[in-house]
Every structure is written in structure tokens, then in C-alpha cells.
Chains A and B, each alone.
Chain A
Amino acid sequence: MDIKDLNELRGEFEQLQKREMQASLSDRSCATDEESREDYPDFMIAMYKEIMPPAKSGIYFSRWDLKAMAAEMNESFALDIRERMFKNYMQWVATPDDMQLVMTQFKKHIDTKCDIYKEYSEKYPSSKEIFDKKIKKAESTKKYLDKVFIEFFT
């Protein structure tokens, strides 16, 4: 191996280190989002405290949204106080498969709202920064749902 090969090898190694460092930094920024969430004794409290508040998830889940999400699973709940409706919905969850169905509904609802946020961001670029923050919260919320599943259902 001559000096030129050695220098090329060193250059590649430095590039690799740089890429790994950047990847680790970006992983850490995502993890910080997840880790900033508190620990809860059960999944129902975890979801109510972390997913239902618009300030945390960037998404408003109304009473009718909960009813519509349940209807997608052929379930029906009476319109009631929002928190009570949420509890009724969660009490339906008995197995990991049920939880997967519920998570799918939440993620679908989140995606629908984020698509609308993106449309508004494109149409009104000055609002993009505000909508982007909501989309970021929503994406973090979807990851949190997976975490809840792993923590309480596996």
C-alpha cells in the first residue's frame, strides 16, 4: 500500500466518521422528542396525556373524531364528555391486535390532518413554520404510539 492509498483510506474513514456523527446527532434530536415524554402507569393515561392534547400532538381529536374512528372499527359510542368517550374507546382494547387497530385509526387521523396542514403551508407559505411544528409534533406522536404498544402490549 503506498502513501496515496493510505491518504484515500484516511479520507474515506474521516467521511464515514462524519456521517456517523451526523446520523447520531439527528437520532438524538428525535430521541429527545420521545424522551421528553413522561412515563405513565398504563396505556390509557399515557395516550390521554400525550396524544389527546392538541398542544402535544398538533392534532385536535374531537368527540366526533373519536366516534368516527370507533365507527371505522364497527364500534359505536354515544357522544359524551370527550375524556369519557376516550376512556370508553380505550376500554374496548383487550388484546394487542385491538390496540393495533386503534393505533391505525389514530395514525390515519393524524395523517389526514397533516395532509391538510401541508396543503395550507403550500398555499400560504408564511404559515409554513407554524404548520411544520404541528406536523413534527404529529410525527413524534405516531412514534410515541409505537412506543406505547411496545411498552404495554408486548
Chain B
Amino acid sequence: MQDDLKNEQLARVNIYALISRILMNEVDEKLLKLILKDENILSFFPEFQKWDKRKKMSNKDLIEKELNVDFTNLFLLHLIPYESFYIREDQQMETGGDNPVQMLYNDFDFRVELDEARVMSADHIGVELEFMYKLCEAEYKALEDGEETIAAEIAEMQYNFLKNHLVEWAPMYLLNVKSEAGTAFYFDAADLAIEFILSDFEYLTELKNSEFSYKAKTGDNNGY
């Protein structure tokens, strides 16, 4: 696989993994250390970098007194991070097996442990982003194995999932996370998630317009 393409695909895998983790559960010390240590990751959090409380408080206090409180407000109490609420005219959440997203996961054999993830239904934003992460990871592996046709099929699935699901509803939710965040961390996390979802949709649309030809996209005519 060409280096540019490899780096691009790896970046997509890693960013989906990062944002799905952040939007699924509370931050723990391990995750916070990872973000603070890695300059590349920290650059996604410009307001958090400048935030006074981050500089003054210990990681433990920052998590317990600020970040977890904000997570509870934004993901459990006051806002609704589930797709069905945004697409159903009755504003109800579909927590059962009839949830169209759950049915889609079943087709791909993507199992969601709701208890473990501590979510009420499979159309939680963190779970949908994790699904994208899994698809990107599978696409990356297919490209590494030289299976371009399979990779292209997986990329098309990603395009359809973003178009029909995440791009359709996630910005509505994430805009409110941004405006209601009580910490610089979740403000940045929401901004990163919106911008990344929309820019990845640009990337996939471009790939789709080239009929999912990686060669056309990278300008590489020599194969992988």
C-alpha cells in the first residue's frame, strides 16, 4: 500500500477510535494521559490546551470534578445521544431489536454489548462511531492484503452509513454538546467529532465519485 494512503487510512482508524471512545464513556486517567502526552492528539483539543483548570488541577481532580460531571450532563442527563430520537417523528428512542441501526449491525455481525458500553441502544453516537472505526480497520487490513476490491466495498459501506446515519443526525446533537459543554475538553471533542465526520464524508464522497478507485484518488498507477 502506498505510504500516503496508508497514513491516511491509519489516521481515519485512529480518529474514529478516539472519538468513539470519548463520546461513549467517561474519561479515565489512562485516556487523559494518552491525550496529554501525544502532541498530535492534543492538537485536536485547542481550547482544552489553553484551559486554566487543566493546568491547575491534578488529572484525578480534573476527571472527577470537571470532566465526569460534564460527561454526565451531556451524555446521560440533558442531551440525547441516540439517532432514533432525531429521526423519529414521535421523538422516541427505539431501544429494541426493531432499531434500524441494530438491524444493520446484525447484517455485519457487529455485536454491541449494551451493558458493557453502558448505553441504552445500539444507535448511541459512540457505538455508531465505533462501527465506523471497525469498518475503517477492516478496509485498512484489506488494503494491506492487496484486496482492493474488498476494501472498496467496505469504503462504500462507510459512505452509506455516514450518509444515511451519522451525517444525518450527529451534527444536530453535537452542536448542542458544543454549546452546552461546561468544560473545554467536551467543547473540543464535539467540534472534533463534527468536523471529522463531515470531512470524512467529503473524503468518501470523493472516493465514491472515482468509483472507489484508490489509484485514481492517490494518482498512483503502479498498484500497491
Binding site for B on A (CB under 8 A): 52-56, 59-60, 62-65, 79, 113, 116-117, 120, 123-127, 130-131, 134
Query: Is B140 in the interface zone, CB < 8 Å from A?
Result: no
Cβ-defined contact, B176 with A62, below 8 A: yes
> What 8 A-B pairs are tightest by C-beta distance, nearest first?
A126-B205, A124-B198, A60-B172, A54-B86, A53-B91, A64-B180, A55-B89, A62-B176
Docked-complex contact B90 and A53, CB < 8 angstroms: yes
Alpha-carbon distance A134/B170, docked complex (angstroms): 13
Asked whether any CB of chain A lies closer than 8 Å to the CB of B201, the reply is yes
Q: State A56–B172 Cα separation when bound (angstroms).
A: 13
- B180:A123 contact, CB within 8 angstroms: no
- Given A54-B169, A60-B173: A123 and B86 within 8 A (CB)? no
| 8 A-B residue pairings within 8 Å (CB atoms) | A53-B88, A55-B86, A62-B78, A62-B176, A62-B180, A116-B175, A124-B202, A134-B172
**Beta-carbon contacts under 8 Å, B174-200 to A:** 175-176, 179-180, 194, 198-199
Complex Cα spacing A120 to B173, Å: 15
* Shortest distance from the beta carbon of B90 to any chain A beta carbon, whole Å: 7
B binding-site residues for A, Cβ under 8 Å: 78-80, 85-91, 163, 167-169, 171-173, 175-176, 179-180, 194, 198-199, 201-202, 205-206
Q: Which B residues are in CB contact (< 8 Å) with A79?
A: 78
Shortest beta-carbon distance from A154 to chain B in Å: 28
Closest residue of A by beta carbon distance from B84: A55
Query: How distant is the Cα of A53 from the Cα of B202 in the complex, in angstroms?
Result: 28
- Report the bound CA distance from A56 to B85 in whole Å: 11
Taking the closest CB of chain B, its distance from the CB of A112, in whole angstroms, is 9
Q: Which residues of A contact B176 (CB under 8 A)?
A: 60, 62, 64-65
CB A89 to nearest CB in B, in angstroms, measures 16
* A52, A54, A56, A65 interface centre (most CB from chain B within 10 Å): A54
| Shortest Cβ distance from B78 into A: residue | A63
**Across the interface, do A120 and B169 meet the contact criterion of CB distance under 8 Å?**
no
Minimum CB–CB distance for A130 against chain B, Å: 5
Q: In the complex, A124 Cα to B167 Cα: how many Å?
A: 11
Question: Which B residue's beta carbon lies closest to that of A53?
Answer: B91
Say whether B167 contacts A127, CB under 8 Å. yes
**When the two chains form their complex, are residues B198 and A123 in contact, meaning their CB atoms are under 8 A apart?**
yes
B198 and A127 form a contact (CB under 8 A): yes
Decide if A54 touches B201 in the complex (CB within 8 Å). no
A133, closest chain B residue (CB): B168
| Min C-beta distance of B48 to chain A, whole Å | 21
- For the complex, what is the distance from the CA of A62 to the CA of B190, rounded to whole Å? 16
Taking A54-B169, A64-B180 as contacts, is the C-beta distance between A125 and B202 under 8 angstroms?
yes
Contact of B89 among A53, A59, A124 (CB under 8 A): A53
A60: B residues at CB distance < 8 A: 86, 172-173, 175-176
Hey, which chain A residues are within 8 Å of B168, CB to CB?
130
Alpha-carbon separation in the docked complex, A117 to B167 (Å): 12
- Which of A117, A120, A125: most chain B Cβ within 10 A? A120
